[in-house]
Every structure is written in structure tokens, then in C-alpha cells.
Amino acid sequence: MKNISQILNVLLAAALVVLTIKMVNLNKNDEVVSSVAQPDALEMIMTRSSVRAYTDKVVEKEQIDKMLHAAMAAPTARNQQPWNFIVVDDRALLDDFAQTLPYAKMASQASVAIVACGNIDKALPGVAQSYWIQDVSAAVENLLLAAHFMNLGAVWTGVFPIPERVADVTRILSLPPNIIPLAVIPIGYPAGEPQVKDKWKPENVHYNKWN
């Protein structure tokens, strides 16, 4: 009996040693991940491009949730978060976007589209109200980057401020008057290799004063 208890104690001690070593390694890995996280994020930003052709593969709900989380992580003026996002996976509605919006033909191929909207009831008062446009735009960019990060392809198709497009999306989605659609973002798995554009132009940068 005493022997069994001794053996059990040795086994327990060995298990503790193994667990401790594993936890130390885990922490080391965390450090490695955080030390390379910045270049990885930059790489993602630099390699994003608009994707307008998709395969039949369905975008999963978990991926949609991640894109929505990324969108809502965007900065907003006075943290108003004046937005709503409409997830559209109804084929008839996607086809309606494709037929109605002049530059959103790709919606008919997309697995899903997320419509990023401003919510005027949640926007700042007075002249600051228009900040909602920047707030929702920041969310759209976050969403596009999250899609790219998950190897999905997406494209920002513009709605606001073109009155006919706003009216069309409002009608298609039965939006109430306080909800203004800013962008329809068709999303799917890219068909083919997305082409990244090099947009770096040093002449667009000024230090201190203009000249």
C-alpha cells in the first residue's frame, strides 16, 4: 500500500513538472506571437485588395461574426458607434443588389453581403452629425481587413451619398428612415488570385508645412 502511494506521488510530481514546462513554453510562444504581431498586421493591410469574383464556397457564420466584431472595433467620434450592420445571405436579395446597384454585379456570386449603415438616431447632434460617415467608413475598412485575414475576398461597393443607391438599398432591405446604407460589401472565397495595387506615392506626403 505504502509502495503504491509512493508511486502515485512520483507520478503526480512528474505530471506537475511536465505541466510547468508546458506552461512556460506557452508563455514563451505568446511572447513570440506578440513580437511578430505588428509586421503580420501590416502585411495584412498592405496585401488587401478588392475581390469581385468568388467561388461557390459558403462563408461560415463564425467568419461573419468575426468580421462584424472587427467592424465594431473601429474608432468612432465620441465613441457613439452610430451604426447597424445588415447581414444578407438571401440569394434573391443578393441578386437584387446585383441588378439594381450599377457597380455591385459581383453580389450575385457572393456567399453573403454585409450592408454597413449609419444610424442617425445614434449620431452626434448638430454639425458633428456627419461624423457618422467617417465612423461607418472606419468600420467598413476593419471589416474588409478581417475578411482578408480569413482568406476571404470582399469589396466595398458605394451606396451613400448617391441618392438613387441609398433609395434602392433602403427599398430592398426595408430600412427605416433613420438608417442610411453607406456600403454594400459582397463577400466570398476569392476565385483566382487577388491583385494587390501599389499605391505608395511619396509626393502625397508632407512634413510639417505644405512646402
The residue (of 104 and 179) whose beta carbon lies closer to ligand FMN is 104
Task: With CB under 6 A as the rule, give the number of residues binding ligand FMN.
Answer: 10
Determine the Cα–Cα distance for residues 71 and 87; give it in Å rounded to an integer: 13
Which region among 37-45, 46-54, 76-84, 202-210 touches ligand FMN (by CB under 6 A)?
46-54
Determine the Cα–Cα distance for residues 87 and 85; give it in Å rounded to an integer: 6
| Least gap, CB of 115 to ligand FMN (angstroms) | 13
- Write each residue from 5 to 44 as x if it is in contact with ligand FMN (CB under 6 A), else as -, in one continuous string: ----------------------------------------
Q: Which three cell numbers stand for residue 37?
A: 504581431
| Three-state SS at 57 | coil
| Among 115, 155, 172, 179, contact with ligand FMN (rule: CB under 6 A) | 155
Could you tell me if 115 and 166 are in contact, meaning their C-beta atoms sit under 8 angstroms apart? no
Determine the Cα–Cα distance for residues 197 and 182; give it in Å rounded to an integer: 24
Q: Is 108 in the site for ligand FMN (CB under 6 A)?
A: no
